[in-house]
């Protein structure tokens, strides 16, 4: 199910620009305080319940005072109960009743005992009302108001009063008929137009003799917001100002550099452009992306030139022997019957030699391809001294002497032993073909690398051609069957393992090649 949903979303997902995503993210972040205002309703409900709790506390104190002062009341002991009365109203669930109706005409006289209590408790009611701003009324057992607003009228028909006269404590929400908006945006508050009514019975000797009726508007949620409107507006301006600043920074640090790199990618792919300079305002990761792309573009350019030159060289190298073979076949076809046996044998020998050269070229090309495409083994570690000694033993003889000079301890290198042997064998064979009688191998250990210098006393390398010795197909021994791929293959073999093959041009007699091999410990540290 989740997979199908993801597939459907991917199919209908719009293509968004990076700037749109970044600006939308920043805008959403800036608007979070606005969305947080929606949760003010939870806080508003808490304020309503807090107002109810205050009315409950006031009603309990005033009812207890009336009970104590009621004529003929017998003082009673109340066991301590530390449990508070639970809230009974909720803005979301409690129904809101109409505005409280006016007191009806009383059909009986007020209770004299209630009037007597009203005289004594009137100062307490007045002080409490002035402090809490609540409307407080004292009712007798018949629901007649004996103290407070609409004194002399009857509230017996009001549901919460009727319930209280039966001994039940009650709190209701009613519309406030006298409400008028005071603060801006106060209309957003549901509690602004409501009033909380709390009724608590007065019980003397187990009988309900009256009730205390309290009412008050809940605490204003938007009063503080309105009073601090200047600070709020300033905060909004600051937030959106910072949004613009952050958008500019993100645009200059990410969006613009990515767009520039996108254009450069198309230009480089079309071969009509180059990678631009890294923008100074770009983020660190974007700068690294520019640098890496520049390295990649340079590598692609080098590889393209290499392939172009390689293709041209292969075409040239194959053209000559193929032309010779084709010419010999054509002559044999046209004049084979009239040709002398010696001439026929000479043409066949030339064709055979050209075919052998083609076969050798193909074989060496395969070796070069394997060397170029070889992948280094991250866990390889070989003893270079053992590989050197094996080659020295193989080439050491009467006509050609190969010596080895090395320290007692040589660290393992991150290079296959077979690659080291192949390179040394090729260098020794080249030296022997150049007329050398000796080849000295000197091993030195430096920081993180092992250097192997192979010096021979042969005819050496012409300084004019020294720059091209590692180029594929470059050879000065083409007449004797040289393909010009030996040193190129050696260089590729070492490069595949992180090594290097170089020519020391300071040697005046003979030639000197240097193998630079990374140690296994150094290669492991770089991978980590």
- Residue 200 above 90 pLDDT? yes
Per-residue pLDDT tens digits for 23-73: 777 777 767 666 666 666 777 788 888 899 999 999 999 999 999 999 988
- Answer yes or no: are the C-beta atoms of 511 and 460 closer than 8 Å: yes
Task: Output the pLDDT for position 38.
Answer: 60
CB atoms within 10 A of CB 526: 11
Q: How far apart are CA 503 and CA 318, in angstroms?
A: 28
Q: For the full predicted model, state whether its pTM sits above 0.85.
A: no
Give the 3-state secondary structure of residue 15.
coil
148 in the same domain as 49: yes
CA angle at 218 for the pair 217 and 221, rounded to the nearest 5°: 125
CA-based nearest residue to 445, from 521, 525, 390, 524:
521
How far lies 460's CA from each of 153, 402, 465, 474, in Å? 130, 17, 11, 16
43 in the same domain as 10: no
Q: How far apart are CA 406 and CA 88, in angstroms?
A: 95
Residue 395: left (phi > 0), alpha (psi -120 to 50), or beta? alpha
The range of the structural domain enclosing residue 210 comes to: 38-73+86-227
455 in the same domain as 484: yes
- Residue 301 above 70 pLDDT? yes
CA-based nearest residue to 212, from 198, 194, 193, 229:
198
Give the 3-state secondary structure of residue 324.
helix
242 in the same domain as 385: no
Assess if residue 91 is contained within a domain. yes
Question: Helix 486-496 vs helix 341-373: angle between axes, to the nearest 10 degrees?
Answer: 20
User: Given the structure tokens 């199919």, which residue do they identify?
Assistant: 11
Confidence of residue 167 (pLDDT cuts 50, 70, 90): very high
Residue where a domain stops, chosen among 208, 227, 246? 227
Per-residue pLDDT tens digits for 437-472: 888 999 998 888 899 999 998 887 877 777 777 776
How far lies 301's CA from each of 76, 201, 276, 374, 496, in Å? 103, 95, 15, 21, 19
386 in the same domain as 246: no
Q: What are phi and psi of 520, to 5 degrees?
A: -65, -35
Task: Output the pLDDT for position 171.
Answer: 94
- Residue 425 above 70 pLDDT? yes
Task: Output the pLDDT for position 376.
Answer: 58
Per-residue pLDDT tens digits for 212-245: 999 998 876 666 566 667 887 887 788 778 877 8
Assess if residue 508 is contained within a domain. yes
Per-residue pLDDT tens digits for 71-126: 988 777 766 666 677 888 888 888 999 999 999 998 889 999 999 999 999 999 99
CATH of the domain at 95: 3.30.450.20
250 in the same domain as 211: no
Average pLDDT over residues 144-158: 93
Assess if residue 57 is contained within a domain. yes
User: Given the structure tokens 């660290």, which residue do they identify?
Assistant: 411
Give the rounded percent of residues in the chain with a pLDDT score beyond 70: 79
389 in the same domain as 247: no
CA-based nearest residue to 517, from 383, 371, 407:
383
411 in the same domain as 281: no
192 in the same domain as 48: yes
The domain total for the chain is 4
Hey, CA dihedral for 442, 443, 444, 448, is it positive or negative?
Answer: positive
Assess if residue 81 is contained within a domain. no
- Answer yes or no: are the C-beta atoms of 173 and 89 closer than 8 Å: yes
CA-based nearest residue to 411, from 499, 514, 516, 519:
519
Confidence of residue 391 (pLDDT cuts 50, 70, 90): confident
Assess if residue 80 is contained within a domain. no
User: Can you read off the two tokens belonging to residue 377?
Assistant: 């083994």
Any idea what DSSP says for residue 474? -
- Residue 527 above 50 pLDDT? no
201 in the same domain as 53: yes
Q: Compute the residue count for the chain.
A: 528
Assess if residue 296 is contained within a domain. yes
Task: Output the pLDDT for position 39.
Answer: 64
Residue 452 CA, chain-centre distance (Å), reads: 46
Assess if residue 409 is contained within a domain. yes
Per-residue pLDDT tens digits for 237-262: 887 788 778 777 777 777 777 777 77
Give the number of C-alpha atoms closer than 13 A to the C-alpha of residue 106, restricted to the C-beta side. Answer: 18
CA-based nearest residue to 480, from 435, 425, 433, 426:
433
191 in the same domain as 223: yes
Residue where a domain stops, chosen among 318, 340, 360? 318
Q: How far apart are CA 498 and CA 155, in angstroms?
A: 99
Task: Output the pLDDT for position 525.
Answer: 45
DSSP string, 446-458: ETTEEEEEEEE-S
User: Can you read off the two tokens belonging to residue 372?
Assistant: 């170029």
CA-based nearest residue to 218, from 200, 242, 198:
198
Q: How far apart are CA 26 and CA 407, in angstroms?
A: 64
CATH of the domain at 520: 3.30.565.10
Residue where a domain stops, chosen among 258, 274, 309? 258
Judged by average pLDDT, the poorest of 84-93, 148-157, 346-355 is 346-355
- Answer yes or no: are the C-beta atoms of 458 and 431 closer than 8 Å: yes
Write down the H helix ranges in 374-512: 384-395, 417-433, 486-496
Give the 3-state secondary structure of residue 503.
strand
Residue 468: left (phi > 0), alpha (psi -120 to 50), or beta? alpha
Confidence of residue 482 (pLDDT cuts 50, 70, 90): low
Assess if residue 127 is contained within a domain. yes
142 in the same domain as 58: yes
Confidence of residue 320 (pLDDT cuts 50, 70, 90): low
Task: Output the pLDDT for position 361.
Answer: 60
């Amino acid at each position: 199910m989740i997979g199908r949903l993801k597939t459907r979303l991917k199919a209908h997902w719009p293509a968004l620009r990076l700037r749109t995503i970044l600006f939308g993210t920043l805008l959403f972040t800036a608007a979070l305080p606005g969305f947080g205002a929606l949760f003010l309703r939870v806080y508003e409900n808490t304020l309503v319940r807090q107002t109810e709790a205050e009315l409950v506390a006031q009603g309990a104190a005033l009812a207890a005072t009336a009970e104590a002062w009621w004529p003929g009341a017998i003082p009673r002991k109340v066991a301590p109960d530390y449990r508070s009365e639970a809230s009974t109203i909720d803005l979301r669930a409690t129904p809101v009743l109409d505005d409280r109706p006016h007191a009806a005409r009383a059909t009986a006289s007020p209770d004299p005992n209630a009037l007597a209590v009203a005289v004594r408790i009137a100062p307490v009611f007045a002080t409490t009302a002035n402090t809490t701003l609540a409307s407080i009324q004292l009712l007798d057992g018949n629901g007649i108001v004996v103290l407070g607003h609409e004194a002399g009228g009857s509230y017996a028909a009001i549901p919460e009063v009727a319930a209280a006269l039966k001994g039940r404590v009650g709190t209701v929400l009613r519309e406030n008929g006298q409400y008028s908006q005071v603060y801006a945006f106060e209309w957003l508050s549901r509690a602004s137009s409501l009033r909380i009514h709390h009724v608590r019975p007065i019980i003397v000797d187990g009988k309900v003799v009256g009730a205390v009726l309290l009412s008050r508007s809940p605490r204003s949620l938007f009063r503080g917001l309105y009073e601090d409107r200047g600070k709020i507006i300033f905060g909004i301006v600051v937030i959106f100002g910072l949004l613009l600043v952050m958008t500019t920074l993100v645009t200059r640090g990410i969006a613009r550099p990515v767009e520039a790199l996108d254009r450069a990618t198309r230009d480089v792919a079309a071969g009509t452009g180059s990678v631009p300079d890294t923008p100074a305002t770009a983020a660190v990761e974007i700068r690294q992306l520019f640098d890496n792309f520049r390295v990649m573009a340079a590598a692609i350019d080098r590889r393209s030139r290499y392939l172009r030159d390689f293709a041209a060289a292969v075409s040239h190298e194959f053209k000559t022997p193929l032309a010779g073979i084709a010419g010999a076949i054509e002559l044999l076809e046209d004049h084979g019957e009239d040709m002398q046996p010696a001439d026929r044998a000479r043409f066949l020998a030339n064709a055979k030699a050209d075919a052998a050269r083609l076969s050798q070229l193909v074989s060496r090309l395969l070796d070069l391809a394997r060397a170029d495409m070889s992948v280094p083994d991250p866990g390889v570690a070989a003893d270079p001294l053992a590989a050197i000694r094996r080659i020295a033993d193989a080439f050491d003889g009467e006509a050609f002497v190969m010596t080895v000079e090395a320290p007692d301890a040589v660290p393992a290198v991150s290079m296959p032993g077979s690659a080291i042997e192949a390179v040394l064998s090729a260098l020794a064979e080249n030296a022997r073909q150049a007329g050398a009688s000796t080849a000295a191998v000197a091993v030195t250990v430096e920081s993180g690398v092992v250097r192997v210098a192979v010096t021979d006393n042969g005819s050496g390398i012409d300084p004019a051609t020294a720059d091209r010795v590692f180029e594929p197909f470059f050879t000065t021994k083409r007449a004797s069957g040289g393909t010009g791929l030996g040193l190129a293959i050696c260089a590729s073999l070492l490069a595949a393992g992180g090594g290097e093959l170089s020519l020391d041009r300071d040697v005046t007699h003979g030639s000197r090649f240097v193998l630079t091999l990374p140690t296994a410990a150094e290669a492991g540290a770089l991978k980590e």
